[in-house]
Structure 1
Amino acid sequence: MHDRPNAASDKAVSNMVKTSVLVVGGGPVGLTLAMDLATRGIATTVVETRAAREPPSVKCNHISSRSMEIFRRLGLAQKLRDAGLPADYPNDCSYRTTATGIELSRILIPCRRDRYTATGGPDTGWPTAEPPHRINQIYMEPVLFAHAAAIDGLQILNRTAFEAFSEVEEGIVATVRNLDTGAAFQIHADFIVGCDGARSLVRKAIDANLQGTPIIQRVQSTYICAPALLGLMDRPAWMTLSLNPRRCGTVVAIDGREKWLIHNHLNREDETFESVDRDASIRAILGVGPDFEYEILSKEDWFGRRLVADRFRKGRAFICGDAAHLWMPYAGYGMNAGIADATNLAWLLAAYLQGWANIAILDAYEAERLPITEQVSRFAMEMAGKVLSQRRTVPDAIEQPGPEGDAVRKQVGQAAYDLNVQQYCCAGLNFGYFYDRSPIIAYDGAEHPGFTMANFTPSSTPGCRLPFAKLPDGRPVYDALGPGYTLLRYDPDVAVASLADAMRTKGVPFAVVDVPGDQAQPPGGRKLILARTDQHVAWRGDAIPGDPAPLVSKLIGRAHQLASASA
């Protein structure tokens, strides 16, 4: 997926590769973490078992708005927007009796050509400069790889398998193996991060255990090439969901022409994957006869789960993404939650490795991310239960012609729309979550506003996402955030020099951005809001504390270390 030679073959067994952070796994989560670290000047090495340019499986189909904000900061947003489905292909979600049958309802989502300009409908008006983007992982990942390969200080070792690691006084030593030569060699790093998926070896190495519900749904997934299918659809969509008494399933447009991913949601009475006729199920979902031709490109049988690790860290080892949490892919938030993990951890690691934060700042990763992934997974599980119930109760009359069938279809279509619009247009899940138990956030006693999958209340309460706004020059406020902490000043008469001096004395990257008085203040009405590089509010007030040193100590983890030592 990139032109850089496989450095693993150049490092003999007797040599040790040295790096600051070793990332195990070169999927979207691992690459995001590596890029974020490298752009902050942290030497990073990624080990990935696949060969360069070897495509991933057709799994993830959606980049959330919050993830697109991260990719904007990394210089990737437009590159990703330019990839995926044809520019004018409808990104809608269509509920039908079959993929080629009667439409029951449709959730309108702008095509990528209109993503920045569309108004009206449930998936526009997002409080961000980067709305969501529908793209399959087979198109997304090569963009990430190519971008990552061009970053100085970032090394990707393809065809290299992680085997084990041990923690030593000055860092970790990992054993990896070149899969082409069979040669094992070692990598010495300050930290190791497992982004190595559901079967994570790093998770097992740190004795983290997945807890929750191991099986919620069984799914047969089949990636097919069917050139004639698009012509049988009177109104194509990015995602077509079939609801009929025989087989309920989901058909995802991959290239907008001939390639499709079909999820067959097994019925309760289906005893095993093997007992279900894959071909018959596909035809029932598509609504086609035995003469319809298609080619199976790949297939996978999998379980929908709700599992969250009981720890995300042990010493100098961390886990992110599917290594840390697995749940049903409702609201498209599996990969996207992992990307949020990655950007949270990246700036914390960089803060310590650059020398301006105490090592105790790293405690914030698990304190912040574990509660969020637990909460998000429960959102997904609740949605899964409702969707499964809907699929299991499709009326027999849904395909019946005439007024009775029309009435049934109207009722089922409206119910499908009302239930699912919240997961396909999930502003609350993107923007509503907050960190309420972080050791490096200065809370002020204000209650964090609640959120649902679909809705949230913007807030400047410490721990919340900094509310979206545009600066006078038209830039989104997030574009003005620096690599450490940025103070937004809504009243130019408020003195901030004492905080600036205290920050710079500790070497903390710090900037002040004046927001003119005619700009709308974020909810909360404070004159000063201190934002972190990851867009979360760290502190707010109407004046700098008389002695800003305790605040700075908290922000860089020093206060947490002292409190832990005295406990």
Structure 2
Amino acid sequence: MENFAFAPAYELPVWPFTPPPELGSAKVVRHPIVIVGAGPSGLTLACDLAQRGVRVVLLDEDDTVGVRGASSRGICYAQKSLEIFERLGIYERIAAKGITWSFGRTFSGEQEVYNFNLQANSVSRQPPFINLQQFYVEWFLVERILELGLTDVRWKSRVTRVEQLADGVHLDIETPAGSYTIEADRLIDATGANSPIRTQLGIEAHASRSTDRWCISDVRFRKPLPTERWTWVDAPFNEGRGVWQHLMADGVWRIDYQMPEDCDTAYISQPEVAGARLREQLGPDVEFEFVWIGPYGYRDHLLDSFRHGRVFFIGDAAHVVSPFGARGGNSGIQDAANLGWKLALVAQGKAGDTLLDSYDAERQPAAQQNLQVTSRSARFLAPRSPAEHTLRRAVVALAARHPFARALVNTGRMSVANDYPAAPQLPEGARSVQNLPLRWADGHETTLMQLLSEGTHCIGLWFAPTREQAKAALDATASLPLHLLAVGGDSGLPTLQADDRLASHLGIGDAGSFALVRPDAYRAAVLANATPETIASALRTALGHDSNP
């Protein structure tokens, strides 16, 4: 029997446990914001709040990142997430370490039936996707949080009990040095799919488990493969089942093989079995070493509400979708970006509690959409009836010759920034604004994320206002968190150069038109003929001020 080589294990960082000041004290200390869980969503939120000058306590029961054994887990980081990381100050590290890609191919058997280039519709400074092992992203976030210095990160701290109070949340915490109790004005649960907090509070997750089975092989090849996302609907080298092929950092390829539903998960993960699959795919002489092998199944769930009193759920604690299209981890990162600025404004006394309700009103429908999209992908990849098998065969056969059918080949609709429906804070709904490269009037470069990276404010982009209008608008919004900018003209405001891409992307551009962009880079309002009064009114609405008593 062949002995397969394994690469040396990753050496993940370990951070020290520091006994907290509350340990051994009879006094129960209250903290404004406590986050439980140092995965991608919890770390993104902690970093987001630190960037905004807000102190939080972050609890995690481990003292490292990723999982023991350093599997790849989440790997595909979408443009919206990368833009968030740009604002948080870690994008350059991610881009330097990860693999940038925008092109993908889909095969049926030996025939390519579909390909796509995600760069075609992008105006952002960030690419459509970067592939990077999840533990690296978590690692960079932790180091950035420690660099910012405002977050009390408490490792080896397991929350054993949570109780909602009338005006806060009670937490019992177990550590290597003993147990203690704290209270929080607001608690954010980022503990993942098996959230013990959700269980303790008796909140129904509406979980369902798929019978679909996969096996991941993280592999390093001696001879490189094309840096593209390749998928097979029915790979001949995998008994007619699906296969994914992605390059990650360190020259490691992640290859996902769809397995029979009744497979023995221990057997399919044995090196000699995984190695035989690779040789079947790439030839008997392919030279490689394993980095990690592991089986997985998946489930989905969705909470009815992401806010329960003083407790907010983000990431997998709130929603889990099947992995097709990278909509899981990216959605959790975007949960954090949505909630972060709202918590910051409330903590700083610039908005009322009503604004926090908009987190659920926006992110719960986004999760519903992601669940619907990924469920359709799962049914295409694993048909459950003869009719579904027949439909898939027909779609694949037509796709090679007819463009209309290519859109029906569903191996995973890649993660996008979800639009938000109309709501009290968003009378017209909202959509994401990409991180466009911009220029000041004097020619110096900037980007939307750079404009949003300091403090917590909305950006008002006003096309060629007059000096009188600009002065009146500054007076009307003086007490509100708004950074008012002109696009072209001579208004006396900080002025960006007129840019057709910006106007087109915002959906405006005529003199006097105005776009309000929130701190999470979502367009909250468009005004055709803006006045100081309508600008101030749109801003108050976006911040929930008009809903407050």
**TM-score using structure 2 length:** 0.79
> CA-atom RMSD, angstroms?
3.9
Identity between Structure 1 and Structure 2 (%): 21
Map of 2:522 onto structure 1: 536
Cα deviations by residue, 1:420-460 (Å, 9 ceiling, x for unpaired)? 9987784xx524x32223322243xxxxxxxxxxxxxxxxx
Classify 1:411/1:435 alpha carbon distance in 2 versus 1 (closer, same or farther; 3 Å). closer
Task: Please state how far the C-alpha of 1:201 moved relative to its aligned partner.
Answer: 1.9
1:208 matches 2:208: no
1:558 matches 2:538: no
1:197 matches 2:192: yes
Aligned length: 501
Cα deviations by residue, 1:374-412 (Å, 9 ceiling, x for unpaired)? 0122112112222334999999xx9xxxxxxxxxx9988
Map of 1:438 onto structure 2: 423
Task: Please state how far the C-alpha of 1:171 moved relative to its aligned partner.
Answer: 2.6
- CA–CA distance in 2 between the matches of 1:547 and 1:514? 16
1:366 matches 2:360: yes
- CA–CA distance in 2 between the matches of 1:312 and 1:128? 30
- CA–CA distance in 1 between the matches of 2:80 and 2:144? 19
Secondary structure of the residue aligned to 2:47 is helix
Code of the aligned partner of 1:504: A
- CA–CA distance in 1 between the matches of 2:377 and 2:81? 21
Retained in 2: the 8 A contact 1:20–1:191?
Answer: yes
Map of 1:12 onto structure 2: 23
- CA–CA distance in 1 between the matches of 2:60 and 2:516? 38
1:75 matches 2:78: no
Retained in 1: the 8 A contact 2:24–2:180?
Answer: yes
Map of 1:515 onto structure 2: 487
Classify 1:296/1:420 alpha carbon distance in 2 versus 1 (closer, same or farther; 3 Å). farther
Retained in 2: the 8 A contact 1:94–1:103?
Answer: no
Map of 1:316 onto structure 2: 310
- CA–CA distance in 2 between the matches of 1:79 and 1:546? 43
Retained in 2: the 8 A contact 1:247–1:264?
Answer: no
Map of 1:463 onto structure 2: 430
Code of the aligned partner of 2:125: A
Unpaired segments ≥5 residues, structure 2: 1-11, 490-497
1:475 matches 2:446: yes
Cα deviations by residue, 1:256-293 (Å, 9 ceiling, x for unpaired)? 54x544433233xx335459644476345423499989
Secondary structure of the residue aligned to 1:155 is strand
Classify 1:359/1:234 alpha carbon distance in 2 versus 1 (closer, same or farther; 3 Å). closer
Classify 1:30/1:414 alpha carbon distance in 2 versus 1 (closer, same or farther; 3 Å). farther
1:45 matches 2:12: no
Code of the aligned partner of 1:246: E
- CA–CA distance in 1 between the matches of 2:113 and 2:534? 59
Map of 1:166 onto structure 2: 163
- CA–CA distance in 1 between the matches of 2:508 and 2:56? 39
Higher mean alpha-carbon deviation, 365-374 vs 201-210, is at 201-210
Retained in 1: the 8 A contact 2:104–2:228?
Answer: yes
**TM-score using structure 1 length:** 0.76
Question: Which residue among 457, 473, 478 is the counterpart of 1:504?
Answer: 478
Mapping of residues 142-541 of structure 1, within 5 Å: 142-178=139-175, 180-181=176-177, 183-211=178-206, 214-224=208-218, 229-231=221-223, 235=226, 237=228, 241=232, 243-244=235-236, 246=239, 248=241, 249-257=243-251, 259-267=252-260, 270-271=261-262, 273-274=264-265, 277-279=268-270, 282-283=274-275, 285-288=277-280, 299-389=293-383, 418=406, 426=414, 429-431=415-417, 433-443=418-428, 462-466=429-433, 469-473=436-440, 474-481=445-452, 483-493=456-466, 495-505=469-479, 508-516=480-488, 518-520=498-500, 521=503, 522-525=506-509, 527-541=513-527
Classify 1:383/1:3 alpha carbon distance in 2 versus 1 (closer, same or farther; 3 Å). closer
Retained in 1: the 8 A contact 2:65–2:138?
Answer: no
- CA–CA distance in 1 between the matches of 2:230 and 2:514? 44
Classify 1:106/1:530 alpha carbon distance in 2 versus 1 (closer, same or farther; 3 Å). closer
Retained in 2: the 8 A contact 1:486–1:533?
Answer: yes
- CA–CA distance in 2 between the matches of 1:96 and 1:552? 49
Secondary structure of the residue aligned to 1:332 is coil
Unpaired segments ≥5 residues, structure 1: 109-120, 399-408, 444-461, 563-567
Mapping of residues 130-149 of structure 1, within 5 Å: 130-131=126-127, 132-149=129-146
- CA–CA distance in 2 between the matches of 1:65 and 1:236? 18
